[in-house]
Amino acid sequence: MYPVSVVDVRLQPDALVVTGYDHPARSRGDYIGGAIITARFTSPLPDVIRVQLTHFKGRQEPKPVFDLDDRASNASVEIGRDEQHAWLKAGSLSVRVPVSGEWRLDFLRENRPLTSSEPQAVALLTQNGQTYLREQLSLAPGETVYGLGERFGPLVKNGQSVEIWNEDGGTDSELAYKNVPFYLTSRGYGVLVNHPGRVSFEVGSHHVSRVQFSVGGHSLDYYLFGGPTPKAALEQYTALSGRPALPPDWSFGLWLSTSFTTSYDEKTILANIERMEALGIPISVFHFDCFWMKELTWCSFLWDERHFPDPAGMLKRIKDKGVRVCLWINPYIAEASPLFDEGAERGYLLKDLEGNVYQVDDWQPGMALVDFTHPAARDWYAGKLKALLDMGVDAFKTDFGERIPLAVRYHDGSDAERMHNYYTYLYNRTVFELLEREKGAGEAVVFARSATCGSQKFPLHWGGDNSSTYASMAETLRGGLSFGLSGFGFWSHDISGFIGTATPDLYKRWAAFGLLSSHSRLHGNESARMPWLFDEEAVEVLRFFTRLKRHLMPYLLEAAREAHLHGWPVMRAMVLEFPDEAASRHLDMQYMLGPALLVAPIFNADGEVDYYLPAGRWRNLLTGETVCGPAWRKERHGYLSLPLWVHEERGAAWECLRSFA
C-alpha cells in the first residue's frame, strides 16, 4: 500500500504533518475505506530533520529506543506553506511537500535538491503475516554510500543488501558484530533509521537509484543530516547519538595479550614483558584473555588459582613496570560458574518464554545471559568487576554481546527483536560507566567487539576474529573504515590476524598497519604474537613502528580530540577528508590517520603497493621527499617502510608532524 494522494497538511508550532491516502481522492465517495500514512517532520538540531511515518497511530512504540539527544526542538526551525507546497526548514536543510495532489517528499540543501522520497517510495508491506513499513530515498548519478557499521566487504555500499543484525561471524562474510542503521553519502548527507532492532537496507540494489530501508511494524522513524560535507554530517549525527569519550593516553600504546588458548602463568608473563622492554618495544597494556578464569566457568570473575595463585601481587608486579592491565570478560554466565545460582535466584538472568532461566549450550555449556534491563542486575554485574578494579585491573575487554536470543523475556518488558542489537549498548555502558566512576574521567576504556548506534560513547572497539592472511588484513581495514564512517572514533584489530599464525612476512607488514592505527594490539587464538616467535627481523620491524607511533603521539592525541569533539574517526576513509575528489570515493586500501597523514598498508608478499595522493603538496614522513598531487603511484617497499605522506597544507596538523618529517 502506497500513500498516493496528499489529503491533509497541518502546520504546528514545531512540526509539519502531512497525511497521504492510498488512492486518488476526487470526490466524497473516494474517502470511503482505504488507508492513510502520516508523515510528521520536526527538527532537533540545525541542518537535521526527523521524519516519522505512521500507519495506525494508536500503537505504542515498544522498548528499547536509541539513546538520542533529541529532547529539545530546534528553536530556529521555519515552517510555512504557499498555494503549492508546505515546508519545514532547519538551517540550510529543508523538506518540501505538496499541499495536494501526488505524494512525494523532497529534501533540499540551500534550496537545491538533495534527495527525495518519490511516489511509491513509502510503502506498507505484508509478508507471512508480518507488517513492514518501507522508505526509499533517491540517489543521484554517481552518488556513493558508506557506513552501516563495521562491514568487511567493499567500502562503497552501492549494490549491497545489508541486514542490521548483530552476529558473530568473523571478518570474511556479510555478517557483522557492529551494525549501525546509519549511512553517509558522497553528497555530504547522512541518514539514521531510528530503530534499534532489525533494519533491512537495499543500497541501490532492489531499486538501483534509491536506498531502501524497512522495519517491522506500522511506523518508521528516520533522521536526515544535511552536511554539507561527510565530516559535517558525521558531526551532526554524533551530536544526536553521542560523541566518543576521550580514551586515556596510555591506551594508544602497544597492547600485548596472553592470546586465547596459549598457556600462561606469572613467570611467563613477566618474562615476555621484560624481554619486550629489553628489545626496545615497550608494552603499555597487558591483556589477560579467557583463561585467567577456570575453564567452563566463564564468566565467574574469579582467577584460576592453579595458574595465578597470587593475582593481586602479580598485578602489582606488572603495574610496577608501568604496564596497565586488561581482563577479558563477556555477558554470559556458564552453568558451572559460581555466579549462575546467585544470578538465577535474584532474577538477574534472562528468562525464556516459560519463565525459566534461558540457557543454551553455545559458547559455554548451559550458559545464561545477564539481563541488563534490570537495574539491580547491572549493579550486581558491575559489583563483580569493581572487586577486580580494586585488585588493580585497569580495563576490560568486553567480548561478545551478539548471540542475543529472541525467545526471551526482559525484566523491563523490552521487545526481544529490538533488544537483539541494543543489548550490547546496555552491556558496554554498564562496564564503561563503572570504569568512569572508579577510575575517573579520562581514564575509562574498554576493548569491545559488538556495537550499535550510540556505542561510540564507550570506546574503544576492535575488529573481531580475523585470520592470518593478506585477504583478511584487507577486509579488516575495510571494516575499520566503514566503522569510522558510522560515527565511531576509535578502533583496533588483532595484528597479524587472530585465527591461525601469520608468516613472518605477513606479521611484519601487519605490524606496520597495526601501529599506524588508532589502537594497537598483539593477540591470537592458538599461538602468541611476540615478534621473536616469527623471526629476528620481526623484532626490528615491531620496534621501529612502535617507536614511530610514540613519536606521533602528540599528533594522534590531537586527532583523538577531534573524534571526541566532532565525531570524526582517527582512522579516516579518504572520502571523508577529500570528498570533492572522485578518485577518493572508492579507495579502501589506504586511509588518512587523522587529518594530514596518509597511510597505504602493503597487502602482498612482494612489497608492492598502488595508491593515490589527492591534490596538494605532500611530504614523505620517512624520506622527506615532496610531491604534488593528484597522483597515482606504484612502489615497492621493504619491511621498515610503507607509503606514509603528510599533507603540508593541513595547518596545525602539519605543524604537529613537521619535526618528524
Annotated catalytic residues are: 399, 402, 465
- Of 65, 208, 200, 225, nearest to 133 by C-alpha is 200
Strand, helix or coil for residue 322: coil
Whole-angstrom distance between the N-terminal and C-terminal Cα of the chain? 62
Strand residue runs (E) in 22-168: 36-42, 48-54, 78-81, 85-90, 93-98, 101-102, 105-109, 112-117, 123-127, 130-138, 145-149, 160-164
Furthest CA-CA distance within the chain: 88
C-alpha cell at 165: 543484525
- What DSSP state is assigned to residue 144? -
Tell which phi-psi region holds residue 383, choosing left (phi > 0), alpha (psi between -120 and 50) or beta: alpha
Cα(570)–Cα(576) distance, integer angstroms: 11
Contact 620, 633 (CB under 8 A): no
Cα(146)–Cα(144) distance, integer angstroms: 7
Environment class of 335 (CB within 10 Å of its CB; exposed 0-12, middle 13-18, buried 19+):
middle
DSSP-assigned beta bridge partners for residue 134: 123, 214
The CA-CA-CA angle for residues 210, 215, 218, to 5°, reads 115
Q: Which amino acid is at 52?
A: Q
Contact 481, 573 (CB under 8 A): yes
The residue length of the chain stands at 661
Contact 600, 573 (CB under 8 A): no
C-alpha cell at 335: 552453568
Helix (H) or strand (E) holding 375: helix 375-391
- Of 326, 70, 113, nearest to 223 by C-alpha is 70
C-alpha cell at 227: 552536511
- Of 251, 236, 653, 258, nearest to 491 by C-alpha is 251
- Of 643, 639, 634, nearest to 608 by C-alpha is 634
Contact 450, 479 (CB under 8 A): no
- Of 290, 279, 311, 331, nearest to 526 by C-alpha is 290
- What DSSP state is assigned to residue 584? G
